[in-house]
Amino acid sequence: MLLIGLAGLEIEPRERDWLVAPGVAGVILFARNYANRAQLMALAESIREIGGEHLLIAVDQEGGPVQRFREGFTRLPALSKIGATYERDPENAVRLAEEHAWVMSSELRACGVDFSFAPVVDLARGNTAIGPRAFHDDPGIAGELAQGYVRGMHLGGMAAVLKHFPGHGSVAADTHKAQAIDPRPLEAIRDADLRPFVEAIEAHAEAVMMAHVIYPAVDERPAGFSPVWIEDILRDELGFAGIVISDDISMAAAGAAGGVGARVRAHLAAGCDLVLACFPEVVDEAIAALPPPSDDALERLAPLRGAIGATWAGLLDNPQRDRFIARITALDEPEGNA
């Protein structure tokens, strides 16, 4: 199944055909698809009117540097700010992770968006693409905060998507721009990067997004193309029974599998349930590469569908929201003013 990107603020004629194509499970939205909340809700309604109520609508709304919808939404601090709080007040930091997640998820649910690709559970160990998006460099701290974040998302009516398995934080290269190779042995990865994933899976996260990183001591293929990582380690060893999602097939590191169609087929063959085709330029070719969907394919993705949430007016009347927003936005205030 595919999750596809759209070009702009409204659905174009060619995109109508995409939304009804067999194997298209929904869309992923970006800043290019957002003007304001009213436009977003109209776009979500149009997507489902054309393609059906089963279509999923997703976004990256992590906070910090990766927040696609900004004007009209709470400006969410980077997860690293929560990790920094943990060093002086662990109990408060866990609460902040839950509250950050609740605000993010409840606001998106009020606008018809099913889920965000969150939380990032990579370790903060120098990767240029991850940076402040990660909670912490300590696996134990990252895992505890990830568990809190998953709880908060669930309270907001949203599924959690852990990324980027088995860990993108300990290799320098940015897979958007180049191939990334992490030469460490599996035991080193188990002892560090896998630990936050294990803890967040125990908190009943519904999905995991794969990294495009190559770990040659385990498999010469990027993790998202690797049945070793997906089937042997994630599913069999860690016992994860949820949904496995690829990273974007347009990223430079995904070129290891060949062209667009080869990338789609390789992800599916490795065990991914959902493949991301984020840019409109690749969608036609990605759809053409899909095999006929199985009868239970949509049913398998059902846990990603958002629960019934409050309206925006209902959120504004919720005093809990005001308290949570005040606490999490204070994380971005200068030291001494928070």
User: Does the pLDDT value for residue 338 go beyond 50?
Assistant: no
> What one-letter code names the amino acid at 236?
D
pLDDT digit string, tens, across residues 49-91? 999 999 999 999 999 999 999 999 999 999 999 999 999 999 9
Residue 30 host element (H or E): none
The rounded mean pLDDT for the chain is: 95
Residue 338 lies in a domain: no
* CATH number of the domain enclosing 138: 3.20.20.300
pLDDT at res. 172: 81
**In whole angstroms, how far apart are CA 138 and each of 22, 198, 229, 238?**
43, 14, 22, 20
pLDDT at res. 336: 43
Domain tally for the chain? Answer: 1
pLDDT digit string, tens, across residues 238-257? 999 999 999 999 998 888 88
In this prediction, residues 190-203 reach a mean pLDDT of 97
Would you tell me the crossing angle of helices 139-155 and 194-202 to the nearest 10 degrees?
Answer: 30
Outline where DSSP puts E strands in the chain: 2-5, 24-29, 56-59, 61-63, 66-67, 115-116, 161-165, 207-210, 214-215, 219-222, 243-248, 274-277
User: Does the pLDDT value for residue 231 go beyond 50?
Assistant: yes
Residue 292 lies in a domain: yes
Tokens 């910090």 — which residue? 64
Residue 337 lies in a domain: no
Q: List residues with catalytic annotation.
A: 176, 247
Which of 216, 326, 278 lies closest to 27 in space, CA to CA? 278
pLDDT at res. 179: 87
pLDDT at res. 163: 97
Residue 288 lies in a domain: yes
State the Cα–Cα distance between residues 200 and 100, nearest whole angstrom.
16
pLDDT at res. 335: 59
pLDDT digit string, tens, across residues 201-216? 999 999 999 999 999 9
Q: Give percent of the chain above pLDDT 70.
A: 99
Report yes or no: 11 and 43 within 8 Å, Cβ to Cβ: yes
User: Does the pLDDT value for residue 337 go beyond 70?
Assistant: no
Domain with 171, as residue range(s), is 2-331
pLDDT digit string, tens, across residues 19-41? 999 999 999 999 999 999 999 99
Residue 336 lies in a domain: no
Cis peptide before 132 (omega within 30 of 0): no
Cis peptide before 164 (omega within 30 of 0): yes
pLDDT digit string, tens, across residues 119-161? 999 999 988 889 999 999 999 999 999 999 999 999 999 999 9
pLDDT at res. 174: 78
